[in-house]
Amino acid sequence: TKTVSKCYVQVTGMTCASCVANIERNLRREDGIHSILVALMAGKAEVRYNPAVIHPSAIAELIRELGFGATVMENCGEGDGILELVVRGMTCASCVHKIESTLMKTNGVLYCSVALATNKAHIKYDPEIIGPRDVIQVVKDLGFTTSLVKKDRSASHLDHKQEIRQWKRSFVVSLVFCIPVMGLMIYMMVMDSQLSDAHAHHNMSSEEMEALHSSMVLEYQLLPGLSVMNFLSFLLCVPVQVFGGWHFYIQAYKALKHRTANMDVLIVLATSIAFVYSFVILLVAMAEKAKANPVTFFDTPPMLFVFISLGRWLEHVAKGKTSEALARLISLQATEATIVTLGPDNVLLSEEQVDVELVQRGDVVKVIPGGKFPVDGRVIEGHSMVDESLITGEAMPVTKKPGNTVIAGSINQNGSLLILATHVGADTTLSQIVKLVEEAQTSKAPIQQFADKLSGYFVPCIVAVSVVTLFAWIIIGFVDFEIVEKYFLGYNKSISAAEVIIRFAFQASITVLCIACPCSLGLA
C-alpha cells in the first residue's frame, strides 16, 4: 500500500474558477499526486501526495511554474473539523466517560470532551476519515439522543439598530439644547465687539463701560450675581448633561472600572468639570452678590456632546450598512441538503434530508430544479443551468455538466443534479466570503490602533497638564500677583488676593481640559 500524506499550500494570484481548474488539471498529471482540491476564496490548495515520490516544496514549485504564488502552510491543523453536539440522556459521570472513551477509540476522532452539566459535547475530528454524521451515529448507538448545537443564522450580532437609535437620540437631545446656547454665545460675542468698538471711539471711562455692559438684556441680573445669560445657559445645559451624556457616563464608568482611560473618560471629565465648576462659581457669585457676572463654561458640554454623538451615530450607521450586507450574505446559505446513497452504475438507493452542517466531504448531494446548492462540489450526474450571480454578479445562467464545479448558495434552474461535496461547512466559498467581510469589520486599520494606543496615554496626559497648569498659576500668582491681575479681568476687588489667584488658576486648568477634549484625534 502506498502511504498518502496531506499538505496545504497557500496560493496567491488566483482570480477566477478557470485558475482553479488550471492548477487542478496540471497537478493531477504529476507523479505522486493523488488528488488536489483548490479553494478560490480561501486561497488554499489541499494536496494528497505520496511522500516517497514528491515533497510539499516541489508541489509549491509546480504551482509557481503555472504563474501563481505558492507557499507551503506549516500548521495543517486547519483541516480539523469541529463539532458541537447537544447530548440528552446522560445521568452521571460514567455516561460521560462511556461517550468520551468510545469516541476517542473511533478512527478519525482527534479530541473529545463531554460536559455533563451543560449536556454538550465538543469533538475535533479529521474530515478525511470521519464526518459529523458518523460521530452522531456513534453517540446514538450508545443509547443517547443527540443533535447539533443550533447556530444562530439570523446574524443578530451584526445588528446595529439599537446603537443607531441610542446615538441618534443622544444627538438630537444635545442638538435641541445646543442651538439656543450657541445663539446666546454668538449674541454675546457680537455685543462685546460692539462695546469694545464704542469704547475705542468714545474713550469712555471704565465705569461708564460697566454701566453699558450691564444694560444689555442678557447681562441683566435676575438675582445679584446671576445674569439672564448664565441662568439660561444653566437651564439648557442640565438636560444635555443628563440625557445627552448618559451613554458617555456609562462607558466612562466601565472604562475606569477596568483601570483604562478612553475618550469617553476625557469627554465625561471635561463636561462634568466644566458644568460643576460653572455651577459652583455661579453659587459663589450669588453668595457674594457680585456686580460683575462670572465667566462660566455652560456652553462647553452641549457643543461637545453634539459633535461627539453625531460622530458616534454616523459611525454606527456605516457599520450597520456593512452588517446588512453580511446578513444578506448569510441568508443566502441553504439550511438543508438531500444526501443520496448510490449503488453501482449511479443507481439511487436511498435519500435523506439533513442539516447543511451534517454534510460531509465526499457525500453525494442531490439538488432539484429551483433548489440551492448546499455545499461546494463537483457535478457527477445530470445537466442543468445554474444561476451563480451571488458570486459572479453575472445574471446569465451557467451550463453545468459532469465534471463542472458548483458553488454553495447558487441556484439550480432546470435540471436535477447529483454533486459530490468537496468543500463543506466553513470551507465553502460563501462561508469564506462571510468570514472575510466579518474580519474586515472587526479588524482595525493600523492607524486606528495607533490612535487607540495614543488615547490611552492622551487622557492621563491631559489631566496631568491641567493639574500642572493649576499649580503653575497658583505659584505664579503668589510670587507675582500683577501677572494674574493683568489677565484676570473684571474680578471683584473686594475678595482677597489668594482667592483671586485660586479662581484664576482653576479657570485656566478647566480651559485646558475643555479644549483638549474635542481634539481631532478623539473625534476622528
**What is the CATH number for 30?**
3.30.70.100
List Cα–Cα distances, 222 to 55, 291, 293, in angstroms.
91, 12, 11
Contact, 98 vs 143, CB < 8 A? Answer: no
Residue 438 in any domain: the answer is no
Torsion sign across C-alpha atoms 112, 115, 121, 124: negative
DSSP state of 77: G
59 occurs within a structural domain: yes
Q: How many structural domains are present in the chain? A: 5
Residues 181 and 285 both lie in one domain: yes
What totals of helices (H) and strands (E) does the chain contain, helices first? 16, 19
Inter-residue contact 405 to 17 (CB < 8 Å):
yes
Q: Is the pLDDT of residue 215 over 80?
A: no
Q: Are 264 and 209 in a shared domain?
A: yes
- Under 8 Å between Cβ of 369 and 382: no
3-state secondary structure 9-30: EEEECCCCHHHHHHHHHHHHCC
Cβ atoms 412, 373 nearer than 8 A: yes
Query: Where is the domain boundary, 316, 332, 348?
Result: 332
Does 436 map to a domain? no
The beta strands (E) that lie in 392-433 are given as 398-400, 405-406, 411-412, 417-423
Residues 116, 45 share a domain: no
Same domain, yes or no: 359 and 398 = yes
Residue 503 sits in the same domain as residue 422: no
- Domain assignment present for residue 497? The answer is yes
Among 83, 4, 78, 5, smallest CA distance to 39 is for 78
In a domain, 439, yes or no: no
Q: Are 18 and 60 contained in the same domain?
A: yes
Q: Is 264 left (phi over 0), alpha (psi -120 to 50) or beta?
A: alpha
- Segment 144-174, tens digit of pLDDT: 998 888 765 555 556 678 888 888 888 888 8
Same domain? For 173 and 265 the reply is yes
Residue 305: per-residue pLDDT:
83
108 with 160, same domain: the answer is: no
> Mind listing the pLDDT tens digit for each residue in 10-64?
888 887 778 888 888 899 888 889 888 888 777 888 888 898 888 889 999 999 9
Q: What is the pLDDT of residue 387?
A: 92
In a domain, 40, yes or no: yes
Residues 320 and 359 in one domain: no
User: Rounded to whole angstroms, how far apart are CA atoms 20 and 177?
Assistant: 61
| 169 and 235, same domain (yes or no) | yes
- List, for residues 291-311, the tens digit of each pLDDT value: 767 767 777 788 878 888 888
Pair 462, 427 in one domain: no
User: Could you tell me if 376 and 308 lie in one domain?
Assistant: no
The neighbouring-strand residues paired with 46 are: 8, 37
Closest CA to 29 of 12, 54, 4: 54
CATH number of the domain where residue 361 is located: 2.70.150.10
Model confidence, pTM: 0.59
- Domain holding 116, by residue range, is 81-148
